[in-house]
Amino acid sequence: MDTTIRSAKQDDYAALLPLFRQVHDLHVFERPDLYKKNATPVEEALFHDQLHDDRQHIFVATLGMEIVGVVVLQEEDIRENSFVNARKVLLVNSLCGGYAEEKGNRKEAYAPCF
């Protein structure tokens, strides 16, 4: 089966929540001074807002019908100042590859295109 990349949609939320938790749990583990434990690190309303924000882009990787990866990107404008020129940048806010369930067997399915 091939990995496919597509834009996220609102009804992907439930499938993405475990991936968002995986990223957040890593952040909490590595930087407890910055991140708090939270069972729902991305609430559905926030996800909805991100999908409708022209400066944020969420792409999912699918293996068959299952979502196995996600990347959350955000556009930013860098203002010109005395040491840099103005420019636009695309930041990776979140990146995660997960697991796919295939006929009851757990199979690692990291999206190599991420």
**Tens digits of residue pLDDT in 26-46:** 999 999 999 999 989 999 999
pTM of this prediction?
Answer: 0.79
SS3 of residue 47 by DSSP: helix
pLDDT above 50 for 111: no
Question: CA 104 → CA 62, 101, 107, distances in Å?
Answer: 18, 6, 9
